[in-house]
Amino acid sequence: DIQMTQSPASLSASLEEIVTITCQASQDIGNWLSWYQQKPGKSPQLLIYGATSLADGVPSRFSGSRSGTQYSLKISRLQVEDIGIYYCLQAYSAPPTFGGGTKLELK
Amino acid sequence: EVQLVESGGGLVQPGRSLKLSCLASGFTFSNYGMNWIRQAPGKGLEWVASISSSSSYIYYADTVKGRFTISRDNAKNTLYLQMTSLRSEDTALYYCARRGYFDFWGPGTMVTVSS
């Protein structure tokens, strides 16, 4: 199985700050990487698919990038509604595997 | 508007069975692969099973293989998960999600396995 190592596990940031979360794949997954946001008590919401494509309705302050087998989610100017837990997912090969999650809090 | 609504969860004793449903609307259900993903209380996300649009391809996580069965009825726009020989470690919120990269998720249905 492909392992997705997500970091950091938790992150405290200030409003308007730039936030970056990364996922390291244990092998090549191409662009088969998605990012999700989960707010408390809610189901996950797709933010980024294909490593860099913004899902419909997602604010443009969210962006995704890839460097080899390392993938990053960037929030350019943190807003209060961005608080939650973020997960990456590789869908390159079965079984699909999630990163462990990053809990994003306001400082 | 794409909507997925899970149902069928509840409290069940270890070793017993439960069948979950996911009713889809707002899109052509028969055109999309579907998935079940679960989340144990306070934990991360775990993929459970996937089924292709015509049920030709089915995959399971090793943790549920041989105990869970994913199926679908395209005429009823409904996805199912038949769970047997339930264990305490199957306790989780079960989500259905659309297509290979899980673009839409339902709100989930809670399954609690306890005596």
Q: Per-residue DSSP letters for chain B?
A: --EEEEE--EEE-TT--EEEEEEEESS-GGGS-EEEEEE-TTS-EEEEEEE-TTS--EEE-TTTTTTEEEEEETTTTEEEEEE-S--GGG-EEEEEEETTTT--B---EEEEE--
A49 shares contact with chain B (CB less than 8 Å): yes
Query: What pLDDT, on the 0 to 100 scale, is given for residue A7?
Result: 97
Is the link from the previous residue into A59 a cis peptide, with omega within 30 of 0? no
A6 shares contact with chain B (CB less than 8 Å): no
B38 shares contact with chain A (CB less than 8 Å): no
Q: Kindly tell me the sign of the dihedral angle through the C-alpha atoms of A66, A67, A72, A74.
A: negative
For range B21-36, the mean pLDDT: 97
Cα A51 to chain centroid, rounded: 9
| Predicted confidence band of residue B14 (pLDDT cuts 50, 70, 90) | very high
Query: What pLDDT, on the 0 to 100 scale, is given for residue A20?
Result: 98
Amino acid at A53: S
**What is d(CA B100, CA B108) in angstroms, rounded to the nearest whole number?**
18
Cβ-defined contact of B101 to A87 (cutoff 8 Å): no
Query: What pLDDT, on the 0 to 100 scale, is given for residue B101?
Result: 87
> For residue range B69-86, what is the model confidence (pLDDT) as tens digits?
999 999 999 999 999 999
Which pLDDT tens digits describe chain A residue by residue (107 residues)?
999 999 999 999 999 999 999 999 999 999 999 999 999 999 999 999 999 999 999 999 999 999 999 999 999 999 999 999 999 999 999 899 999 999 999 99
Q: Tell me the sheet residues that pair with B95.
A: B37
A89 shares contact with chain B (CB less than 8 Å): yes
**What is d(CA A10, CA A83) in angstroms, rounded to the nearest whole number?**
11
Query: What pLDDT, on the 0 to 100 scale, is given for residue A77?
Result: 94
For range B26-34, the mean pLDDT: 97
Q: Is the separation of the CB atoms in A84 and A102 below 8 Å?
A: no
CB < 8 Å from B in window 13-42 of A: 32, 34, 36, 42
